[in-house]
């Protein structure tokens, strides 16, 4: 029983790594952002795993905690995006970026706070 669980888990992990690697090549060829493509592929895989029971045997054992996502996956994705940023282009567009980013941050913080205030008893 444990050997079968181990085999299913390893097979699922290898399958996910294969999908991530091939999608990286495909997304680079299509000039599509890698992180956005991974989200779309992840949603599609979730749909497939929910509707086809035979494919989800190994995926059921892969549980991701919120802390794992917060401290492992998000920093890696942010680093990958920052590493691929063209610094000269960023410096060229620094003023418009900051003019849009600062009010956007304040606006989104206010809207999220208002929605939480209205929908929850906080």
> d(Cα 82, Cα 103) in Å, to the nearest integer?
22
> d(Cα 25, Cα 96) in Å, to the nearest integer?
32
Task: Locate 67 and state its tokens.
Answer: 């802390």
Q: What is the pLDDT of residues 33-61, one digit of tens each?
A: 888 898 899 899 888 877 777 666 666 66
Which of 66, 48, 68, 69 has its CA nearest to residue 57?
48
Structure confidence at residue 1 as a pLDDT band (50, 70, 90): low
Q: What is the pLDDT of residues 58-97, one digit of tens each?
A: 666 677 788 888 898 889 888 988 888 899 999 999 999 9
Q: pTM score, two decimals?
A: 0.56
Structure confidence at residue 109 as a pLDDT band (50, 70, 90): very high
Domain residue ranges in the chain:
2-85, 87-122
């Amino acid at each position: 029983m444990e050997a079968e669980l181990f085999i299913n888990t390893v097979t699922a992990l290898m399958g996910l790594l294969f999908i991530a690697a091939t999608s990286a090549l495909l997304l680079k060829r299509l000039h599509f952002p890698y992180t956005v493509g991974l989200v779309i592929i992840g949603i599609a895989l979730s749909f497939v795993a929910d509707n086809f029971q035979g494919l989800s045997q190994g995926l059921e054992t892969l549980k991701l905690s919120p802390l794992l996502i917060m401290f492992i996956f998000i920093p890696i994705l942010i680093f990958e995006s920052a590493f691929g940023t063209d610094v000269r282009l960023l410096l060229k567009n620094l003023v418009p970026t900051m003019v849009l980013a600062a009010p956007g941050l304040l606006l989104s913080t206010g809207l999220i706070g208002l929605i939480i205030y209205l929908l929850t008893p906080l």
